[in-house]
């Protein structure tokens, strides 16, 4: 990616819809997908004389998130009116926060388990609570030039989380978003559904170019309209290359004539950014305190209560899986990134089976495969952790080889049967040690030439017996057959001496 002659500088602005039943300043439902304009009231459509009242739950969720993002929480916060005209903004202003946001100066740690970049702390400039606007739809019927406005979304609570320009590559930007989303999911403050607009990302990006006169910053570009984290990563990579090309062409630096900030939109189809029309006088929002809303005071006791109630967050869980369960960093990352329910399943499985490494492998390979194939979440997975633990124990004791165990697992996942049921329906029987030893003795007696070869130092000769063992008892574990036969031959050898 990186051309050594420049450094990429990225800051991200994320809008997260908080998971409340009702809107931020009125008691209309926030349910997604309702028929247009059926979830509005005088407050959210801005009728004269209506008064907003802050949603207690929305503030609580915002506070919880801000604390989890290591933000400083001032004791006093207020809301302001951000004035602009747009058809989806019925009041003519958005209630947002300007100079006294509810939180600022936090950070989020990002890491790549495969080491694609060094672990780093991305600064959070601020996180503030504001209301969403409505939705404009462009009429596709020919000859109709109108836009249609649906105000159901108007007034939905959003937390705007603004990062510092601390990311230095498209991968870091994506990692930040992935970690932020994971954190929000663990906190249970948002469903983070990008398709439904519950999580939206805008990016600011420019380059620091090394020149003979020192480092020069290129004009900042705000990129919008990215509908997935992958799109963000690609848009950032595209923009970096494009900005460097423009720089080589024009040598226009940030702040120089023609070097002002511009806005571009990501075109997913074409995999490129395109210039967007600038909003007229867009920077003059004439903020002032909203006289309809009372400020909010947060006490230290409240903050302590929020902290105590945060639960175990992803970063701490990754560490715990490594230290308490002996799982390596990469595996801990995969498990924790699947969400809290997946971690809980793993912990139960590791606990009951007593074999965390095997539990980790099975969760990542087999459980995840089934979940992905069937688009299931772990809470709908048909095999209980107790059942799967029983299967892992059987494998651990050598009574079932891994490939047979996998067949049993698939049958269990398919039917929801317990392990004994699944084995019975597949005609698979666990082979106990005595049974297997008898089988091996018979084989050695019937194949003196193999015994002779092994005694002559050719351990590989055992291979011939494994096929025979499988034919006589399909449930025989090949590794165990090999092991047992070698042991028996050695015993014979030492007895003869």
Partner 1 sequence: MSLTRQQIVKVSLLARLRLRDDELDRMTDQLDQVVSYMDLLAEVDTEDVEPMAHAVEQTNVFAEDRELPSLDREAALSNSPKRDEQCYRVPAVLGD
Point out which residues bind partner 1 (CB under 8 A). Answer: 20-22, 27-29, 35-42, 45, 53-59, 76, 78, 83, 85-88, 100, 136-138, 145-151, 276-277, 280-281, 284, 286, 289, 291, 293-297
Please, how many CA atoms are within 13 Å of residue 313, restricted to the half-sphere of its CB?
A: 21
Find the shortest distance in angstroms from Cβ 153 to partner 1: 13
Considering the complex, state which of residue 102 and residue 367 has its C-beta at the smaller distance from partner 1.
Answer: 102
Cβ pair 326, 356 in contact under 8 A: yes
Helix pair angle (170-187, 229-250), 10° resolution: 150
Find the shortest distance in angstroms from Cβ 373 to partner 1: 38
DSSP state of 430: P
Considering the complex, state which of residue 291 and residue 457 has its C-beta at the smaller distance from partner 1.
Answer: 291
Find the shortest distance in angstroms from Cβ 296 to partner 1: 5
Cβ pair 188, 19 in contact under 8 A: yes
Considering the complex, state which of residue 33 and residue 214 has its C-beta at the smaller distance from partner 1.
Answer: 33
Cβ pair 189, 61 in contact under 8 A: yes
Find the shortest distance in angstroms from Cβ 342 to partner 1: 29
Considering the complex, state which of residue 19 and residue 385 has its C-beta at the smaller distance from partner 1.
Answer: 19
Distances in Å between the alpha carbon of 378 and those of 116, 335, 350, 443?
29, 12, 16, 45
What token pair was written down for 344? 């809980």
Considering the complex, state which of residue 104 and residue 418 has its C-beta at the smaller distance from partner 1.
Answer: 104
Find the shortest distance in angstroms from Cβ 76 to partner 1: 7
DSSP state of 363: I
Name, in order, each residue with C-beta under 8 angstroms of 179's C-beta and a sequence gap of 6 or more. Answer: 108, 109, 110, 111, 314
Considering the complex, state which of residue 130 and residue 233 has its C-beta at the smaller distance from partner 1.
Answer: 130
Residue 225 backbone class (left: φ over 0; alpha: ψ -120 to 50; beta: rest): left
Find the shortest distance in angstroms from Cβ 104 to partner 1: 16
Distances in Å between the alpha carbon of 38 and those of 34, 50, 146, 195?
7, 18, 20, 21
Find the shortest distance in angstroms from Cβ 398 to partner 1: 56
Find the shortest distance in angstroms from Cβ 85 to partner 1: 5
Q: Could you give the CA distance from residue 421 to residue 426 in angstroms, rounded to a whole number?
A: 9
Cβ pair 145, 169 in contact under 8 A: no
CA angle 107, 109, 112 (to 5 degrees): 155
Q: Could you give the CA distance from residue 243 to residue 294 in angstroms, rounded to a whole number?
A: 45
Find the shortest distance in angstroms from Cβ 270 to partner 1: 17
Considering the complex, state which of residue 288 and residue 330 has its C-beta at the smaller distance from partner 1.
Answer: 288
Considering the complex, state which of residue 28 and residue 223 has its C-beta at the smaller distance from partner 1.
Answer: 28
Considering the complex, state which of residue 102 and residue 392 has its C-beta at the smaller distance from partner 1.
Answer: 102
Considering the complex, state which of residue 27 and residue 248 has its C-beta at the smaller distance from partner 1.
Answer: 27
Q: Could you give the CA distance from residue 65 to residue 335 in angstroms, rounded to a whole number?
A: 22
Find the shortest distance in angstroms from Cβ 16 to partner 1: 17
Please, how many CA atoms are within 13 Å of residue 420, restricted to the half-sphere of its CB?
A: 0
Q: Could you give the CA distance from residue 274 to residue 489 in angstroms, rounded to a whole number?
A: 75
């Amino acid at each position: 990616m990186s051309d050594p002659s420049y450094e990429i500088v990225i800051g991200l602005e994320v809008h997260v819809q908080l998971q409340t039943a009702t809107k931020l300043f009125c008691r209309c439902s926030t349910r997604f997908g309702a028929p247009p304009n059926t979830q509005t009231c005088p407050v959210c459509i801005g009728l004269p004389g209506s008064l907003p009242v802050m949603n207690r739950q929305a503030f609580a969720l915002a506070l919880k998130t801000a604390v989890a993002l290591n933000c400083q929480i001032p004791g006093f916060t207020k809301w302001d009116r951000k004035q602009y005209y747009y058809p989806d903004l019925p009041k003519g202003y958005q209630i947002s926060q300007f100079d006294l946001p509810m939180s600022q100066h936090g950070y989020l740690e990002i890491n790549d388990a495969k080491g694609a970049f060094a672990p780093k702390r991305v600064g959070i400039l601020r996180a503030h609570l504001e209301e969403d606007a409505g939705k404009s739809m462009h009429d596709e019927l020919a000859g109709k030039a109108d836009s249609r406005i649906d105000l159901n979304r108007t007034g939905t609570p959003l937390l705007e989380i603004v990062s510092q320009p601390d990311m230095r590559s498209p991968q870091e930007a994506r990692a930040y978003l992935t970690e932020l989303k994971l954190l929000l999911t663990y906190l249970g403050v948002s469903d983070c559904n990008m398709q439904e607009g519950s999580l939206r990302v805008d990016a600011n990006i420019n380059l620091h170019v090394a020149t003979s006169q020192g480092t020069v910053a290129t004009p900042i570009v705000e990129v919008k309209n990215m509908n997935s984290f992958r799109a963000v990563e690609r848009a950032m990579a595209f923009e970096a290359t494009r900005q460097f090309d423009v720089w080589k062409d024009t040598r226009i630096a940030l702040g120089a004539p023609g070097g002002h900030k511009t806005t571009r939109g990501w075109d997913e189809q074409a995999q490129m950014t395109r210039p967007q029309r600038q909003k007229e006088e867009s920077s003059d929002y004439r903020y002032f305190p909203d006289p309809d809303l009372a400020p909010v005071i947060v006490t230290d006791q409240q903050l302590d209560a929020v902290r105590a109630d945060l639960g175990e967050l992803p970063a701490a869980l990754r560490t715990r899986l490594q230290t308490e369960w002996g799982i390596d960093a990469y595996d801990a990352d995969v498990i924790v990134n699947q969400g809290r329910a997946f971690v809980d399943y793993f912990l139960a499985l590791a606990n009951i089976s007593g074999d965390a490494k095997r539990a980790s492998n099975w969760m990542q390979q087999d459980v995840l495969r089934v979940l992905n194939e069937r688009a299931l979440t772990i809470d709908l997975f048909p095999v209980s952790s107790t059942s799967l633990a029983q299967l892992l124990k059987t494998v651990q004791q050598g009574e079932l080889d891994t490939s047979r165990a996998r067949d049993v697992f698939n049958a269990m996942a398919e039917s929801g049967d317990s392990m004994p049921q699944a084995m019975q329906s597949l005609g698979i029987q666990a082979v106990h040690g005595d049974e297997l030893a008898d089988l091996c003795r018979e084989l050695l007696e019937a194949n003196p030439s193999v015994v002779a070869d092994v005694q002559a130092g050719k351990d590989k000769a055992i291979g011939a017996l494994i096929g025979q063992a499988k034919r006589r008892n399909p449930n025989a574990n090949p590794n165990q057959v090999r092991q047992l036969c070698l042991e028996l031959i050695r015993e014979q050898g030492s007895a003869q001496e």
